[in-house]
Homo-oligomer: A and B are copies of this chain.
Amino acid sequence: MTEHTRRAPRQAEAERNDRALLQAAREALAADGAHASVATIAERAGVGIGSLYRRYRSKDELFQRLCVIALEEYSAAAEEGLAHGDPWEGLVHYAMASIARGPGSLAPIAGTITVTPEMADKNKRADAAVKALVDRAHAAGALRPDVTAVDLELLIEQLAKSPLLDQLNRQGRTDLAEAALNARTRVTAIALDGLRAPAPHVLPGDPPGYELFSERWTSPADSDLVR
C-alpha cells in the first residue's frame, strides 16, 4: 500500500517481525528478568532465532534498542502531559502513560548494557519535561508541595512493574489477564491519589537526590562517563 511496502514487499514481514520481537522482548524481560533468553524471546515473538540475529547482532543490541524506544516513549508521554491544559490532568496523563506502557520496566537490565550517548540525551530530555510538569503542578497547587520530581519518578517506577501480571504471564494464565489489568488500574489510581494536594501530613525524611536515578545506568565495571 504505502511506498515503503511497495518498494520492498518482503520487507513488510520483516518489519512486523521486528515489532513482534521488541514486544516479546519486553514481555520476556518482565517475566524472567535479566535472565530472559533469546530463545524465549524468539519463540514468544513467533520468530526463528535466526531472524532475531539477522536484525540484531547480539542480545545486548536488542536490549539497547529496547531502552531507546522506552526513553522515547517516556519523553513523549511527558510532553503530551505538558500540552494538556490542566496541570494535574497533565501530570496524571504522564504517570498513567508511563505506567501503562507496560510491565516492561527496564530495571532488570539497568547496569548490564552499555549506555550510548543517544540514551543519555533522550534521558536528559525526558527529565526536563518531567521537571517542568512537576513545577507547573506545584504552582497550580494541585500537587502536594513536599513531592519532588524524583519522588514522582520513583513512584512511577514502583507502579510500572506488576508482580501479579508478570506471574500470570509466566504461567500463561490469559484468563485472568483482564481482571489483573483492571486491578492494576485501581491500585495505580489509589497511589496517584496520594500525590494530590492538600496532603494529610508531610512526607518523612529528606527529599531524595537525583543520583538515585542517574547512577543506575552506569555499569558497575566502568565508573567513568559514557564513551
Contacts and interface: CB of A to CB of B under 8 A. Distances in A.
A183 B191 CA distance: 15
A170 interface: yes
Contact of A107 (B167, B192, B204): B167
Given A164-B212, A191-B191, A194-B190, A171 B220 contact: yes
B183 A193 contact: no
Interface in A146-184: 147, 150-151, 154-155, 157-159, 161-164, 166-168, 170-173, 176, 179-180, 182-184
A206 B192 CA distance: 18
Interface residues of A, number: 59
A110 B193 contact: no
Given A150-B183, A179-B208, A155 B215 contact: no
- 3 A-B pairs closest in CB distance: A194-B194, A107-B163, A193-B194
Interface of A: 32-33, 35, 105, 107-108, 110-111, 147, 150-151, 154-155, 157-159, 161-164, 166-168, 170-173, 176, 179-180, 182-187, 189-196, 199-201, 203-209, 211-212, 215-216, 220
